[in-house]
Chains A and B, each alone.
Chain A
Amino acid sequence: MEQLELFLQTLIAGFMLGGLYALIGLGMALVMGVMRVINLAHGDFMMIAMYIAYWLFTLLDIDPYLSVFIAAPALFLFGLAIQKYLLTPVMKVESILPHNLVILTVGLAMVFSNLATVFFTGDYRSTPVSYASNAWYLTDFWSESPIELSLSMPWTLSFVLAVVITIGLWIFLTKTDMGKSIRATSQDVDAALLMGVNVNRVRMMTFGIGMILVAAAGCLFIPIYYLYPALGRQFTNVGFVITVIGGMGSTNGAVIGGLILGIFESMTATYIGMGWAPAGRFAIFVAALVFLPGGIASIIRKRRLGK
C-alpha cells in the first residue's frame, strides 16, 4: 500500500510539474515553428521574469501570481525589441555557418545569466509566500480513504493557472486572425506570404507571445521553486527536450511532451535518485531522437490522416 501511495504521489507531482513544463515548451515550440530557430536563451528569459517577480514580492510585497500581469507585458516588449534589433538583422546576414540565429541566442543567454550574477549575486532566492506550506489532504475529503495523498497549495495554484493560460493560448491560436496567421506561417512561410500574411509582423508577435508564456511560467514557478542566475540553462534544456519530444514546432505535441517529461523526471527522482533526474530528462530526449524523430506530432498527424 505504501508503494502505491508513493507511486501515486510521484505521479501527481510529475503531472503538475509537467503542466508547468508544458508552458515553457509551448513558448519554445511556437518560436521554433514560426522562425525555425531553437531559442537557447528561453530559460534565461524565464530567469529574468522570475527576478521581476522576486523583486516585486520583496520590495513591493506583490504576490508572485499577480506579478504575471507585470512580468508578461515587460517581457513581451523586451522580446519585440530583441526580435526587431537582433534576430531580424541576423536573418539577413549571409554566412558559411548555418544556425547563426541559434548561436546568437546562446550569446544572449551568456549575457543574461552573467549580468544576473553580477547584479544580483549567485545567491539562491525564493519568495516565501504566506500560504507556501498549506496543503490539501485526501483524508480531509474522504476520511475512509485507504491511502493518503497530499497536494501543496502553491503547486495546485500554479498548475491550474498554467492550464488556464494554455487554454487561453489555444483559443487565441484557433479563433483569432493573428493566431491563424501564426499557425499558417508555421506550416508554410511562402504560402502564408502569398496569402497576404505579414510574415515579419507574425514573427515579432510570435516571439512576443513566446516571451509572455515564458514570463508566466517564471511567475508560476517562483513560489514553488528557488531562483539563481544560472537557472536559465536548466529550463532551456527542459524547453528543447519538450520541443523535440513533441515534434519540432508542434504546440499540441509540446503540451503532451511537457506532461511526459514532468512525469518521467518525477519518477526518476523518486526511484533512481535526485542527482539522476537531469540524466533522465536527456535519456528520454535520446529515446525520442532514436525511436520517434518526428515527435508526438508525427503520431497525431498519422491519426488524422487515417494511416
Chain B
Amino acid sequence: MKKYLPHIIFAGLCVVPLMNLSSYIMHILILVLMWSVIGMAWNILGGYTGQVSFGHAAFFGFGAYTAGILYYHLEISAWWGIPACVVILTALSLVVGYICLRLRGAYFALATLALGEICRVTTENLVDLTQGNMGIMIRERTWIDKTWYFYIILFIAAGTFLLIKIVMESKLGYYFVAIREDQDAAESLGIDTTFYKTISLCLSGVLTGIAGAFFMNYMGYIDPGVVFPLYDISITTVMVVMVGGAATYWGPVVGAVIMVFLAEEIRSLPYIGAAHMTIFGVILILIILFVPNGIVGDYKKLLKPFKRKKEASS
C-alpha cells in the first residue's frame, strides 16, 4: 500500500480538475504544488546535503525573470523560460557553488542570504533589462481557465518527486547524505565534497528556477519585490521543509499543504492578518524547539501523547 501511495496521490490529483472546483480552490492547489516543487528542490540541498540556503528566492526569481525577459525582449512565449532557465540556473549555481561551497560552516548560508539581496538590488537597478520596480507583465495569459496550469505544475511536481527519488536511491544520493553527516569522513573516503555539493546546488537551483518560470507564466506579473523577498520566499521555503520534515520524500509536500493553507487562512483573518509574519516566526521557533525534524520526520514523537491517552483509557 505504502509503495503505491505516490501513484494513488498522483492519480487522485489528475482527476481533481474534472470535479469543477471553484477557481479559488484551484489557485490554492496550484500554489500548493508550486511550493512543493520549491520545497523539494530546497530539500535536496538543505535536507539531504546539509547546506542550508537562505536565498532560494534568488533561484526562484532568476527563473521567473528568465521567462519574463524572454517574453518582454525577445517576444517569444514565456513558456520557453522553463527550458531556458535550466541552462541559466545551472550557470548561476556553478558560479555560486564555486564561490561559496569551498568554504565550510555558516559561509554558505550567509552567501545565499546575500545572493537573494544582490539579485533584488540588481534587478531594481538594471531598468533597461528588467523594467526595475515597474516589473514585467504578460499581456495575454495563455489560458484563462486554471486547468492546464494545474496539469503543468502537477507534472513538474511529479517529475521533481520522481527525480529526487531516483537521485536519492542512487550513489549520488548516498554521497549527499555522507557529506551532510560528516564532511571529513566523506572526504577521506574519496568523495570530492565540493564537486558533489555543487551538483546538489545545481539540481536544487534548476528545479527552483523551473518553479519560478512557471510562476511567471501563471501569475503574469513579476517585480523584484514579488520574486526576491527574503521572508516571503526564501524563509518560507525553509519553513515549508522544516514544517514537513527535512530529508524526507513527503516532508516538503506536507509542509507546502500546511503552509499555503495557513498563509491563506491567517491573511484573510481581520486584525491578525497584518501580523502573519509574527505567527509564522513563532511557528518556526516552536518547530525548531519541539519538532526539529518536521511532521513527517518526527511523526512518532507527535503521536506519543495520543497513544498514551489510549493506553490509559483501555
Q: Which residues of A contact B (CB under 8 A)?
A: 32, 36-38, 40, 86, 89-90, 93-100, 102-104, 106-111, 113-115, 117-118, 233, 237, 240-241, 244, 248, 273, 275-276, 278-279, 282, 285-286, 289-290, 293
Asked whether A104 lies within 8 Å of B288 as measured between CB atoms, the reply is yes
Asked whether A237 lies within 8 Å of B109 as measured between CB atoms, the reply is no
Give the distance to chain B from A242, nearest Cβ to Cβ, in Å: 11
Please give, as numbers and ranges, the residues of chain B lying within 8 Å of A103 by CB-CB distance. 52, 238, 242, 284, 288
Asked whether B277 lies within 8 Å of A111 as measured between CB atoms, the reply is yes
Assuming the A-B contacts A114-B277, A241-B114, are A95 and B293 also in contact, with contact meaning beta carbons closer than 8 angstroms in the complex?
A: yes
In the bound complex, CA of A94 to CA of B288 (Å): 10
Give the distance to chain A from B13, nearest Cβ to Cβ, in Å: 28
In the bound complex, CA of A47 to CA of B124 (Å): 25
In the bound complex, CA of A289 to CA of B102 (Å): 10
Please give, as numbers and ranges, the residues of chain B lying within 8 Å of A95 by CB-CB distance. 246, 288, 292-293
Which of B122, B125, B285 has the most chain A CB within a 10 Å cutoff? Answer: B285
Give the distance to chain A from B244, nearest Cβ to Cβ, in Å: 12
* Interchain CB contact (< 8 A) of A244 among B107, B235, B288: B107
Please give, as numbers and ranges, the residues of chain A lying within 8 Å of B50 by CB-CB distance. 97-98
In the bound complex, CA of A230 to CA of B88 (Å): 32
In the bound complex, CA of A180 to CA of B294 (Å): 40
Q: Is B106 interfacial (CB 8 A cutoff)?
A: yes
In the bound complex, CA of A244 to CA of B278 (Å): 29
CB interface residues, B 77-106, toward A, < 8 Å = 99-100, 102-103, 105-106
Give the distance to chain A from B260, nearest Cβ to Cβ, in Å: 18
* Interchain CB contact (< 8 A) of A106 among B54, B117, B180: B54
Q: Is B221 interfacial (CB 8 A cutoff)?
A: no
Give the distance to chain A from B282, nearest Cβ to Cβ, in Å: 6
Chain B interface residue count, Cβ-Cβ cutoff 8 angstroms: 46
Please give, as numbers and ranges, the residues of chain A lying within 8 Å of B284 by CB-CB distance. 103-104, 106-107, 110
Q: Which residues of B contact A (CB under 8 A)?
A: 46-47, 50, 52, 54, 99-100, 102-103, 105-107, 109-111, 113-114, 117-118, 121-122, 124-125, 180, 230-231, 235, 238, 242, 246-247, 274-278, 280-282, 284-285, 288-289, 292-293, 297
Give the distance to chain A from B46, nearest Cβ to Cβ, in Å: 7
Asked whether A240 lies within 8 Å of B292 as measured between CB atoms, the reply is no
In the bound complex, CA of A106 to CA of B54 (Å): 10
In the bound complex, CA of A113 to CA of B280 (Å): 12
Which secondary structure characterizes the binding site on chain A?
A: helix
Asked whether A293 lies within 8 Å of B107 as measured between CB atoms, the reply is yes
Give the distance to chain A from B276, nearest Cβ to Cβ, in Å: 8
In the bound complex, CA of A108 to CA of B278 (Å): 9
Give the distance to chain B from A209, nearest Cβ to Cβ, in Å: 20
In the bound complex, CA of A96 to CA of B238 (Å): 13
Please give, as numbers and ranges, the residues of chain B lying within 8 Å of A97 by CB-CB distance. 46-47, 50, 52, 242, 246, 292
Please give, as numbers and ranges, the residues of chain B lying within 8 Å of A240 by CB-CB distance. 110, 113-114
Give the distance to chain A from B57, nearest Cβ to Cβ, in Å: 13
Give the distance to chain A from B268, nearest Cβ to Cβ, in Å: 17
Asked whether B103 lies within 8 Å of A289 as measured between CB atoms, the reply is yes
Instruction: Sample 28 A-B pairs with CB under 8 A, ordered by A number.
Output: A86-B285, A94-B292, A95-B288, A96-B47, A97-B50, A98-B180, A100-B288, A100-B292, A103-B242, A104-B288, A106-B54, A106-B284, A109-B281, A110-B235, A110-B278, A110-B281, A111-B278, A114-B281, A118-B275, A241-B114, A244-B110, A248-B106, A273-B125, A275-B121, A279-B125, A286-B111, A286-B118, A289-B100
Give the distance to chain A from B219, nearest Cβ to Cβ, in Å: 24
In the bound complex, CA of A149 to CA of B4 (Å): 76
Asked whether B117 lies within 8 Å of A248 as measured between CB atoms, the reply is no
* Interchain CB contact (< 8 A) of B230 among A98, A115, A233: A233
Which of B107, B275, B278, B282 has the most chain A CB within a 10 Å cutoff? Answer: B278
Asked whether B289 lies within 8 Å of A93 as measured between CB atoms, the reply is yes
Asked whether A118 lies within 8 Å of B274 as measured between CB atoms, the reply is yes
* Interchain CB contact (< 8 A) of B247 among A94, A96, A278: A96
* Interchain CB contact (< 8 A) of A96 among B54, B109, B285, B297: B297
In the bound complex, CA of A110 to CA of B231 (Å): 8
- Nearest B residue (CB) for A113: B277
Asked whether B282 lies within 8 Å of A111 as measured between CB atoms, the reply is yes
Give the distance to chain B from A257, nearest Cβ to Cβ, in Å: 14
Please give, as numbers and ranges, the residues of chain A lying within 8 Å of B103 by CB-CB distance. 289, 293
